[in-house]
Amino acid sequence: MSIPALEVTVAAPVASFRNPLYPGMQVGLPCPPPSTVGGLLAAASGSWARVPQHTRFAMAFHVEAAGKDLETFHPLAEVGVKTTPVPKDRDYLWGTALTLWLIEDLDLWAARLRRPVWPLHLGRSQDLASVRTRRVDLDEVCGEQRRAVILDHPEASGTRLRLTTAVREDRSHTRWDDYRYADPLTTEHQSPPGNRLPVGWSTDTGQGVALLPAFHPALVEARS
């Protein structure tokens, strides 16, 4: 048995995802938070009002290398207080490819990603991304973890990450969840061959596909 899905591949030569748990520092994450991916779908739609609240996705992330460069950092301050920009190291990823799987509203998302309302990017606004989509069938058997970003569970491999799932549009509340990601650049935490996800589906290559929590800002509860 299988289910239809829309597979979305987002590629960017350079991407950078700042870890918000380190305010005032430019510490990078090894993969995009689900809230960032949700923002990309909202950009393609034109606004959050046009994103169905029930939308969920599964994702995997591939990266070929990592490095550091210098970026002009503008410190935040109280309104009316002038700050001085300073140079800071910035973690960046090179040769990135984000793969998403959507299993609902396939025609809607295929049309919006083909002609996005706003430019699509991963991380910083100057790092533009390209997008292609295709219809696939997912097998109703659990696949291997490999480079999937998944909710944390006891048998999962990879680095445990505290990531933002959704953020209110006015930034008043944030939903945080624990995830696992087997970073290909960190051999210590790579997912071993055959490590299957406990839930979900698989692609024709055996890649596991497990839906992440809903990311719409309207669903964020005032709990964190």
78-90 pLDDT, tens per residue? 777 778 888 888 8
C-alpha–C-alpha distance, residues 5 and 138, integer Å? 7
Judge contact between 98 and 59, C-beta under 8 A: yes
| Residue 4: strand pairing partners | 137
CA 180 to chain centre: 12
**CA distance linking residue 198 with residue 213, whole number of Å:** 16
Task: Express each pLDDT in 86-144 by its tens digit.
Answer: 888 888 899 999 999 999 999 999 999 999 999 998 877 777 889 999 999 999 999 99
Instruction: Name all contacts of 39-46 with Cβ < 8 Å and 24+ positions apart.
Output: 40/10, 40/120, 40/121, 40/122, 40/129, 41/109, 41/112, 43/116, 43/117, 43/118, 43/119, 43/120, 44/109, 44/112, 44/113, 44/116, 44/117, 44/118, 44/120, 44/131, 45/112, 45/117, 46/117, 46/118
Point out the least confidently predicted range of 6-10, 198-202, 219-223.
219-223
Residue 211: the pLDDT is 97
Distance CA 126, CA 176 (A): 26
Q: Decide if 222 contacts 176 (C-beta within 8 A).
A: no
